[in-house]
Structure 1
Amino acid sequence: MSKQDSSTLRLVFPQWQGGDNPPYYLGARLLAWLAPPAKGPVEEVPVDVPTDTPLPLENDMCGRSVLVKQIHNAQHIIERHNPASIAVLGGDCLVSLVPFAWLAEKYGEKLGILWIDTHPDVQTPAQYKNAHAHVLGALMGYGDQDLTSAVKKPIAAKNIMIAGIHDPLPYEAEFIAEHGIHTCSPQQVRDGAQPVMQWLNQSGIDVLAIHLDLDVLDPHNFRSILFAKPGRGKHDFGDVAEGKLNIPDVLKLVKEVMTEKQVVGMTIAEHLPWDALNLQEMMKQIPLLG
């Protein structure tokens, strides 16, 4: 099932509230339009269209109540289809929470997660108010209860590899070290991703869920991500790590792991199509269109 078939559920999930960033909504819809035709069922998780109303901060989490509602809706959709594999088009990184939790329940300790991301996403509301930075920690069973309650079978650290990560924040580095999570730097990915391949061969997993945060890409070369926002200042994003890989690097990595393990989960997240967004806003003010 590394190739999609009739048992693959394609889940379009235009969630933007996890990152408190409305352009993720358009990003998910464009991914759905760009993706090859689906051979199996396609479902969309209901997500409110962004408005000018700010998300409320609820118990240290931005948009908590709406995120909980979306979690439940995603669960119901997946349970109804009972798929053998799931492809997710997001949306912010939190879109992987429910699908990967469901796959973990289905495949148990035979499931591994390859998290292709510049950031580990293991924070909690104590460090950061936006839940898209909490998702991998929640999948392990750590963090806010409204997220961890969606994970019936937490994923062991030994079954997780983060590829493309560099310069984690102090809390993130401590969490990774404390739990012994495997990592692979951008340079190691370019050099053949030996830490990833070694992990695949020694971990005892049979099937794989891959999370691809487009932020892992170099913003100088791929422009539809957060860090490529037009007119951004050097320090606009809190001086967190920015992507260093390119599309060929990611494709090579994914193709290599596919030779070793069956892929049953695939997420693409954090698509921010700035040019399309600005063009959309411009057309609202064009005669006979807006």
Structure 2
Amino acid sequence: MSKPVFLLMPEWQGSASSRAMQLAEGASILREDLPRSVLHEVSVPLEAGDALGTPVARLSSVLQAHEAAQKTLATADGIPIIVGGDCATSLPGLEAAVQKHGDGLAVLWFDAHPDLQHPSTSPSGAASGMTLRHALGGGSPELASAHPILASNLTLVGTRAVDPEEQSEIEQLKISVLPASESDLADAITTRLSELDASHVYIHLDLDVLDPAEFMAVHEPVPFGLGVSQVTAAIRAAVAALPLAGASICEFAPADASMAAEEQPTVLRLLAALTSGSKE
């Protein structure tokens, strides 16, 4: 049985929020609860970075963090779980999983947003909102994955804030969607994974997939989300159905110490679900 290893990646430069630095603070808080023996810290630049003449904001720093994560992933021995930072931190993890498992990789994208924006039309230019576009091999050439995931093996879970262009991309690529209104999400995910010719699953978890009534430590709460128990059960069902290839948990951005103390147990509960059935 392979054991999880944790990559703490406090990247904030891919976020569109004016309070993006809270992501680095959130990552620092989570560090204290991660086992030091299997913890790797990914070097993230301190500076905001430059767009390098592209439509992608702070691209230089995003690229530096991405390359640092790739180097860490190449030497990490175990199932990598990237913790902290914005959604763009998922990209190196997805690339590493595809390199190892190829077309046998299923991807579950727990996120209020599909993150399918194109750099040329993105309203913010934030890399975080383009992560899946890049993981599918499109978007900015500097970030487009050389090892793209298969759209047919991708499932959006709890996604409910979708731009018109993103909706067009979902329809064009025939990407499967399990809405937040799904009555039995764990069962639906088990069924979905059984329909795929997949050997492993990668799980991306943006905490804004959760309903704001249950979790508020994110930059952009989106109403009518999933309950914590729903997501926990769904993740456990996924890792029971297929071995975990890797995961990322993103966008923990507590506004203050009080919120951090209140919401941190939920993040740890979700991390426990991710590691509940990882095996080869």
* Class of the TM-score when normalised by the shorter of the 2 chains: 0.7 to 0.9
Q: Give the counterpart of 2:165 among 167, 171, 192.
A: 171
- Tell me the matched-pair count: 254
The 3 A distance-change label for structure 1 pair 104 and 243 is farther
SS in 2 for 1:186: coil
In the TM superposition, what whole-angstrom CA distance separates every residue of 1:127-179 from its partner, at most 9, and x where no partner exists?
2200001111111111111111xx33211111111100124110111000000
Q: Any residues of structure 2 matched to 1:66-77 within 5 Å, and which?
A: 66-77=61-72
State the 1:203 CA deviation.
0.9
**Which residue of 2 is the match for residue 162 of structure 1?**
156
Cα-Cα RMSD: 2.1
Q: Give the counterpart of 1:258 among 234, 239, 247.
A: 239
Conservation of the 8 A alpha-carbon contact between 2:217 and 2:259: no
In the TM superposition, what whole-angstrom CA distance separates every residue of 1:64-106 from its partner, at most 9, and x where no partner exists?
111111111111111133x341111020000010111011011
Conservation of the 8 A alpha-carbon contact between 2:93 and 2:247: no
- Residue type of the alignment partner of 2:137: G
Conservation of the 8 A alpha-carbon contact between 1:112 and 1:209: yes
Q: Any residues of structure 2 matched to 1:43-58 within 5 Å, and which?
A: 43-49=40-46, 56-58=50-52
Q: Give the counterpart of 1:200 among 190, 193, 203.
A: 193
The 3 A distance-change label for structure 1 pair 153 and 49 is closer
Q: TM-score, normalised by structure 2?
A: 0.84
- Residue type of the alignment partner of 1:73: A
**Which residue of 2 is the match for residue 103 of structure 1?**
97
**Which residue of 1 is the match for residue 217 of structure 2?**
224
Identity of aligned residues (%): 27
Q: TM-score, normalised by structure 1?
A: 0.81
Distance 2:169 2:236 in 1: 29
**Which residue of 1 is the match for residue 268 of structure 2?**
none
Distance 1:93 1:154 in 2: 17
Q: Any residues of structure 2 matched to 1:19-168 within 5 Å, and which?
A: 19-20=15-16, 21-35=20-34, 37=35, 41-49=38-46, 56-58=50-52, 59-81=54-76, 83-128=77-122, 129-148=125-144, 151-168=145-162
State the 1:209 CA deviation.
0.7
Gaps of 5+ in 2: 261-280
SS in 1 for 2:64: helix
In the TM superposition, what whole-angstrom CA distance separates every residue of 1:224-250 from its partner, at most 9, and x where no partner exists?
11135xxxxxxxxxxxx5461121111
The 3 A distance-change label for structure 1 pair 57 and 277 is farther
- Residue type of the alignment partner of 1:79: A
- Residue type of the alignment partner of 2:43: P
The 3 A distance-change label for structure 1 pair 247 and 278 is closer
SS in 2 for 1:100: helix
The 3 A distance-change label for structure 1 pair 206 and 130 is same
Conservation of the 8 A alpha-carbon contact between 1:214 and 1:269: yes
Q: Give the counterpart of 1:247 among 196, 205, 228.
A: 228
Distance 1:165 1:192 in 2: 13
Q: Give the counterpart of 1:15 among 4, 11, 15.
A: 11
The 3 A distance-change label for structure 1 pair 17 and 155 is same
Distance 1:9 1:193 in 2: 25
Conservation of the 8 A alpha-carbon contact between 1:45 and 1:74: yes
The 3 A distance-change label for structure 1 pair 65 and 49 is closer
State the 1:278 CA deviation.
9.0
Conservation of the 8 A alpha-carbon contact between 1:78 and 1:99: yes
The 3 A distance-change label for structure 1 pair 44 and 243 is farther
